[in-house]
Amino acid sequence: MSADMRSFFGRPIIIGGGVAGLMTALHLAPEPVLLLSRTLLGADASSTWAQGGLAAGLGDDDNPALHLADTLAAGDGLCDKDVASRILQAAPKAIAGLSRFGIPFDRTPQGSLCLGLEAAHSRRRIVHAQGDGTGREIMRALIAAVRSTPSIVVVEGVEARRLAVRQNAIRGVWASCSIGPVFFGSQRVVLATGGIGGLFFDTTNPSGSCGQGLALAARAGAFLADLEFIQFHPTALDGPERPMALVSEAVRGEGAALIDETGQAFLQGIPRAELAPRDVLARAVWNHLASGHRVFLDARQRPGREFARHFPTIASACRGAGIDPARDLIPIRPAQHYHMGGVDVDGAGRTSVKGLWACGEVASTGLHGANRLASNSLTEAVVCARWVAESVAGTPARRTRPAFAGEYPSPDPAPVRPFLSRALGIVRDGEALKAVARSLLPLAESEDAASDPAAVGLMIAIAALQRQESRGAHYREDFPHRAAIARRSEITLEAALAAARELGHSPTLEVVM
Ligand code: SIN
């Protein structure tokens, strides 16, 4: 431990450099903070890849109450209405506040914000920057702001491996960097580590996003909520590339249609068709593929020749696959995209462990319910980062003593991916969930590099097994109906391990690699 590191002791530590982490650090300024990032800032953040934008009830025909109604409808009875209302009320002002960072939001010739349409929104309310480059543009501006804020010390190339906890209170972070293990003492830690896409073969997330924040929180004893709700995006570009390129919902918002190889518009009968909620559409595409069809997005008429101007990022991904969306059909299939579940937090982002906050995708605020409404997540991150920062700033800083660094391997999700891809996809059933929990148990209990990803997968499998209904993104073939009463779920690692042990030892899940 160098003297330099010791001088940082006591500062709030933010783990993760996506929109949630950067905004929390910026809101905390001028209080000195430490921001830990595994890579060069922004290089492995899903925020950078976000094509959809920020949803807010900003239009002349819109307001936060209408936005709330759409959010609750998409969330399929599981949203926390009070939390959702508070976040969506705060959204227009939070987006206006982003302007100070110089983000080039798309505007009309008259200077007002262009508002896009995405699935399950009843109004045009999505704010974009550079078309489908929203995440990249926001990150570019926020990273510049962070780098020029003297109170924020960014430590890149450092991976948080464990939280130090005594009597259910945070004492610091054990991390790993190129010179070996290192301990950062602090009684205030914010998790902003993103999602879990790296636990699946088919994902639109960076493959390094494999639930590290969930593992850190769970091993610290925190409660996690609604883990079984995983969102699959209906339209990822179907090809050999992994992670998969996203074909934004905004393309359907501009009129593109879903058809199969026979030219049939197979969504007939589904209310709102291409603009149905994401869970409904992902299942429809999945079922059509499962019955032997191929599925395509037809953007040849609309947006047609405007495609590349509106969607330069997607056009470039399509070009890489030899597809011109103005002339060719775009082959698509569903892919893991977002995690509605996460570390259970209150309205200020506080977890059940004292001194531990969570913000962004790693957190479960209750906004998204069983199925997130498109573009509500960047909005949530931007709004909640302020509340988290206020709560952190209002918690007294105390110095903590240095501790010996623990040695924990870098998480390797590869052995876990086949299990989650097979049993925790769009369609689930109890026997496969039990088998996957049995298979993951020994790995989760081991000291192996796959132990943390396996622990996360195990908690998700147990939460999915315990939810004996179908709701939102969680579809059980053996329980195809919604329960009469909607209940959010809560789990700890200890409870998940105990539940998996009770399942006994066989059979385990056979997976084809
Ligand atoms: C999309 O552009 O389709 C994704 C937007 C989102 O996930 O919120």
- Record the tokens describing residue 451, joined without a space: 């132990």
**Region 346-357: what's the mean pLDDT?**
98
Q: Probe ligand 1: pick from 51, 134, 339, 340, max atoms within 8 Å of CB?
A: 51
Alpha carbons 458 and 444: distance in angstroms, whole number: 7
52 pocket-lining for ligand 1 (C-beta < 6 Å) = yes
User: Residues with catalytic annotation?
Assistant: 278
435 pocket-lining for ligand 1 (C-beta < 6 Å) = no
Q: Probe ligand 1: pick from 49, 118, 252, max atoms within 8 Å of CB?
A: 118
Helix (H) or strand (E) holding 400, with range, is: none
250 pocket-lining for ligand 1 (C-beta < 6 Å) = yes
Mean pLDDT value across the chain: 95
Helix (H, G, I), strand (E, B) or coil at 377: helix
**Region 251-263: what's the mean pLDDT?**
97
| 390 neighbors 411 (Cβ within 8 angstroms) | no
Alpha carbons 220 and 165: distance in angstroms, whole number: 6
- Record the tokens describing residue 355, joined without a space: 């001194």
Give the pLDDT band of residue 401 (cuts 50, 70, 90). confident
So what's the pLDDT on residue 229?
Answer: 98
377 pocket-lining for ligand 1 (C-beta < 6 Å) = yes
The rounded percent of the chain whose pLDDT value lies above 90 is 92
Give the residue, by CA position, lying nearest to ligand 1 atom 8.
375
Bigger pLDDT: 255 vs 2: 255
Residue of 435, 209, 225 lying closest to 351 (CA atoms)? 225
Report the atom number in ligand 1 closest to the C-alpha of 118. 3
249 pocket-lining for ligand 1 (C-beta < 6 Å) = yes
Report the atom number in ligand 1 closest to the C-alpha of 338. 7
Phi, psi angle pair for 55, to nearest 5°: -90, 135
* Residue type (1 letter), 394: G
Residue of 262, 430, 223, 208 lying closest to 342 (CA atoms)? 223
Instruction: Encode pLDDT of 420-449 as tens digits.
Output: 999 999 999 999 999 999 999 999 999 999
So what's the pLDDT on residue 3?
Answer: 43
Determine if the pTM surpasses 0.85.
yes
- Could you write out the three-class secondary structure of 226-285? CCCCEEEEEEEECCCCCCCCECCHHHHHCCCEEEECCCCCCCCCCCCHHHCCHHHHHHHH
Pairing assessment for the beta strands 152-156 and 33-37 based on DSSP bridges: parallel
358: β partners = 191
Q: Probe ligand 1: pick from 67, 332, 375, max atoms within 8 Å of CB?
A: 375
Report the atom number in ligand 1 closest to the C-alpha of 375. 8
248 pocket-lining for ligand 1 (C-beta < 6 Å) = yes
Q: Residue 91 contacts by C-beta under 8 Å, 6 or more apart in sequence?
A: 54, 55, 56, 57, 64, 67, 379, 382, 383
Report the atom number in ligand 1 closest to the C-alpha of 55. 8
Quote the ligand 1 centre to 376 CA distance (angstroms): 9
- Record the tokens describing residue 168, joined without a space: 């259910």
Tell me: pLDDT of 76 over 60. Answer: yes
Tell me: pLDDT of 4 over 70. Answer: no
List C-alpha distances in Å: 448 to 409, 412, 437: 7, 9, 17
Tell me: pLDDT of 341 over 80. Answer: yes
So what's the pLDDT on residue 316?
Answer: 97
Alpha carbons 376 and 366: distance in angstroms, whole number: 12
- Record the tokens describing residue 312, joined without a space: 């330069």
So what's the pLDDT on residue 398?
Answer: 77
Residue of 339, 140, 176, 331 lying closest to 247 (CA atoms)? 331
204 pocket-lining for ligand 1 (C-beta < 6 Å) = no
Alpha carbons 295 and 324: distance in angstroms, whole number: 16
Report the atom number in ligand 1 closest to the C-alpha of 51. 2
Give the pLDDT band of residue 188 (cuts 50, 70, 90). very high
Quote the ligand 1 centre to 296 CA distance (angstroms): 18
So what's the pLDDT on residue 8?
Answer: 79
So what's the pLDDT on residue 405?
Answer: 65
So what's the pLDDT on residue 484?
Answer: 97
Tell me: pLDDT of 62 over 50. Answer: yes
Tell me: pLDDT of 58 over 70. Answer: yes
Tell me: pLDDT of 513 over 60. Answer: no
Q: Probe ligand 1: pick from 247, 337, 361, max atoms within 8 Å of CB?
A: 337
Q: Residue 269 contacts by C-beta under 8 Å, 6 or more apart in sequence?
A: none
Give the residue, by CA position, lying nearest to ligand 1 atom 5.
52
Give the residue, by CA position, lying nearest to ligand 1 atom 1.
248
133 pocket-lining for ligand 1 (C-beta < 6 Å) = no
Alpha carbons 470 and 458: distance in angstroms, whole number: 20
So what's the pLDDT on residue 74?
Answer: 97
**Region 77-99: what's the mean pLDDT?**
97
Quote the ligand 1 centre to 216 CA distance (angstroms): 27
Quote the ligand 1 centre to 401 CA distance (angstroms): 44
439 pocket-lining for ligand 1 (C-beta < 6 Å) = no
Give the pLDDT band of residue 512 (cuts 50, 70, 90). low
**Region 324-346: what's the mean pLDDT?**
98
**Region 470-494: what's the mean pLDDT?**
98
Quote the ligand 1 centre to 118 CA distance (angstroms): 8
Max CA separation in the chain (angstroms): 68
Tell me: pLDDT of 320 over 90. Answer: yes
Quote the ligand 1 centre to 15 CA distance (angstroms): 24
203: β partners = 336
Alpha carbons 100 and 85: distance in angstroms, whole number: 25
Quote the ligand 1 centre to 378 CA distance (angstroms): 10
Quote the ligand 1 centre to 157 CA distance (angstroms): 29
So what's the pLDDT on residue 1?
Answer: 43
So what's the pLDDT on residue 17?
Answer: 97
So what's the pLDDT on residue 383?
Answer: 98
Q: Using only C-alpha atoms, what is the Rg of the chain?
A: 22
- Domains in the chain, start-ordered, CATH in brackets? 3-194+340-393 (3.50.50.60), 235-335 (3.90.700.10), 411-513 (1.20.58.100)
Tell me: pLDDT of 511 over 80. Answer: no
